[in-house]
């Protein structure tokens, strides 16, 4: 008889009624009386808001009045940002890099160089950021995104010798493990870009480019670590590994500065942060402002000196160099400003429309609303 109360159907949760206890008689009366608490009687004190034209109206006006100025501010800021872009893919005959792009070979020992002249109409004040941009490059392809070994990059010795399976087919060459392994690392952008200012007086001035401070601090100091102890020679630390197939130099020769070499090379770290979209740009160098008197980049003629190592023609990609100043809201970004202005205006217009409806229909339908 006990057993009957534990019967349930097919895993459905069932509430077992207290039917079996009915025989209990008067004693169970008090037990059966439900507790008279606000929760159990569903009478908890509550705030009961209703969205009506009357209540939403002020909110719409407030949003409208807040968003439009913000949008205008953003738009103006964005327009004040100076940005210059030069495409040096070399796809067209007229392009100075045409030869380089045509004669590209992975095995060539002599690097191909080309110079792209350009002219800046306006002087660039304060710090200028130099980017390289790639188009039609699917850094967000699934096979590509996962083709890395974060524990190897974090300096793990075991992963260094035995890269993760995810790195295939860029995990091993022959018997030697590749460091850094994976498709991302293998395809690291390796054009080198130099900026020459053609002074009107005829001299050519090389613009000093800073290669550090371009990656996330946490990446450089926590996420990416070289293998071995703190001051070990990197050549020793990476012994037994081989460079990625498309690299010209091993990882421990990326930079002469020991704080920017190996896995913690900032160009490498920047590259390893896979882009969200197939057209992207990555920070390459920072042109520091040197004096308050002279602009960082005065207007005039410049030459971009490219060591052309990186092939993009095969997948119809483009390569660009971008110079940009920044503001408090980042780089040039008219979208946010325009979006703010539009949403703000829509809210404002809706507010007006609601006001009309509220007065015309609100009164007819709910006499309640007259009090407003």
**Of residues 180-239, which lie at the interface with another protein (CB under 8 A)?**
183, 186-187, 214-216, 218-219, 222-223
Residue 174 in the binding site for another protein (CB under 8 A): no
Nearer to another protein, 17 or 200 (CB): 17
Q: Which stretch binds another protein (CB under 8 A): 144-152, 202-210, 234-242, 286-294?
A: 144-152
State the DSSP H helix or E strand holding residue 69, giving kind and residue range, or none if neither.
Answer: helix 53-80
CA torsion through residues 219, 220, 222, 228, sign: positive
Residue selected from 89, 101, 139, 296 as contacting another protein according to rule CB under 8 A = 139
Residues ≥6 apart with Cβ < 8 Å to 285 = 129, 130, 193, 209, 210, 211, 214
Q: Which positions from 23 through 82 interact with another protein, judged by CB under 8 A?
A: 23, 25-26, 28-29, 32-53, 55-56, 58-59, 63, 67, 70, 74, 78
Q: Which positions from 94 through 113 interact with another protein, judged by CB under 8 A?
A: none
Q: Which positions from 295 through 314 interact with another protein, judged by CB under 8 A?
A: 311, 314
Provide DSSP, 149-162.
Answer: -HHHHTT-HHHHHS
| Residue 205 Cβ vs another protein, minimum distance, rounded to whole Å | 27
Residues ≥6 apart with Cβ < 8 Å to 153 = 180, 223, 224, 225, 263, 272
Tell me how far apart the alpha carbons of residues 218 and 273 are, in angstroms, rounded to a whole number.
13
Residue (of 207, 228, 211, 229) closest to 220 by Cα position: 211
Task: For the chain, give the longest Cα–Cα distance.
Answer: 111
User: Which backbone phi and psi does 51 adopt, to 5 degrees?
Assistant: -85, 105
Residue selected from 94, 142, 174, 231 as contacting another protein according to rule CB under 8 A = 142
CA torsion through residues 73, 74, 79, 81, sign: positive
Residue selected from 207, 209, 286, 339 as contacting another protein according to rule CB under 8 A = 339
Q: Which stretch binds another protein (CB under 8 A): 88-96, 248-256, 291-299, 328-336?
A: 328-336
Residue selected from 20, 65, 236, 299 as contacting another protein according to rule CB under 8 A = 20
| Residue 319 Cβ vs another protein, minimum distance, rounded to whole Å | 13
φ/ψ region of 139 (left if φ > 0, alpha if ψ in -120 to 50, else beta) reads alpha
Q: Which positions from 275 through 294 interact with another protein, judged by CB under 8 A?
A: 275-283
Tell me how far apart the alpha carbons of residues 227 and 214 are, in angstroms, rounded to a whole number.
22
Q: Which stretch binds another protein (CB under 8 A): 109-117, 256-264, 295-303, 353-361?
A: 353-361
Residue selected from 11, 174, 200, 202 as contacting another protein according to rule CB under 8 A = 11
Residue selected from 61, 72, 83, 192 as contacting another protein according to rule CB under 8 A = 83
Tell me how far apart the alpha carbons of residues 270 and 220 are, in angstroms, rounded to a whole number.
10
Residue 163 in the binding site for another protein (CB under 8 A): no
Tell me how far apart the alpha carbons of residues 43 and 34 are, in angstroms, rounded to a whole number.
14
Residue 146 in the binding site for another protein (CB under 8 A): yes
Q: Which stretch binds another protein (CB under 8 A): 232-240, 248-256, 257-265, 273-281?
A: 273-281
Binding footprint of another protein, residue count (CB under 8 A): 136
Residues ≥6 apart with Cβ < 8 Å to 192 = 306, 307, 309
Nearer to another protein, 207 or 350 (CB): 350
| Residue 8 Cβ vs another protein, minimum distance, rounded to whole Å | 7
Residue selected from 261, 326, 345, 352 as contacting another protein according to rule CB under 8 A = 326
State the DSSP H helix or E strand holding residue 79, giving kind and residue range, or none if neither.
Answer: helix 53-80
| Residue 59 Cβ vs another protein, minimum distance, rounded to whole Å | 7
């Amino acid at each position: 008889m006990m057993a009957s109360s534990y019967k349930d159907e097919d895993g459905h949760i069932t509430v077992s009624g207290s039917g079996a206890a009915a025989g209990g008689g008067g004693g169970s009366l008090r037990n059966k009386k439900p507790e008279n608490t606000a929760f159990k009687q569903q009478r908890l004190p509550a705030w009961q808001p209703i969205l009506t034209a009357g209540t939403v109206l002020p909110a719409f006006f407030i949003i409208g009045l807040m968003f439009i100025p913000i949008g205008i501010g953003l738009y103006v800021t964005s327009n004040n940002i100076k940005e210059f872009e030069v495409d040096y893919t070399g796809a067209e005959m007229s392009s100075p890099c045409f030869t380089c792009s045509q004669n590209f070979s992975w095995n060539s020992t002599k690097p191909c160089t080309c110079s792209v002249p350009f002219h800046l109409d306006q002087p660039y004040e304060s710090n200028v950021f130099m980017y390289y941009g790639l188009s039609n490059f699917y850094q967000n392809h699934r096979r590509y995104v996962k083709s890395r070994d974060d524990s190897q990059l974090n300096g793990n010795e075991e992963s260094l010798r035995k890269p993760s399976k995810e790195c295939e087919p860029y995990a091993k060459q022959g018997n030697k493990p590749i460091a850094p392994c994976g498709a991302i690392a293998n395809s690291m952008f390796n054009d080198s870009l130099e900026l020459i200012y053609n002074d009107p007086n005829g001299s050519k001035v090389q613009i000093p480019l800073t290669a550090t401070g371009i990656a996330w601090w946490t990446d450089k100091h926590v996420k990416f670590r070289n293998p071995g102890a703190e001051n070990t020679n990197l050549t020793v630390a990476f012994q037994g590994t081989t460079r990625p197939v498309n690299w010209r130099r091993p990882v421990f020769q990326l930079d002469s500065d020991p704080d920017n070499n190996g896995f913690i090379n900032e160009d490498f770290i920047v590259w390893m942060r896979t882009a969200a979209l197939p057209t992207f740009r990555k920070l390459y160098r920072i042109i520091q402002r040197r004096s308050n008197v002279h602009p960082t980049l005065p207007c005039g003629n410049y030459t971009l000196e490219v060591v052309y190592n990186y092939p993009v023609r095969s997948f119809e990609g483009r390569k660009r160099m971008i110079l940009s100043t920044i503001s408090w809201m980042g780089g040039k970004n008219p979208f946010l400003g325009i979006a703010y202005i539009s949403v703000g205006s829509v809210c404002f217009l809706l507010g007006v429309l609601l006001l009309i409806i509220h007065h015309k229909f609100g009164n007819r339908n709910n006499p309640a609303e007259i009090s407003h």
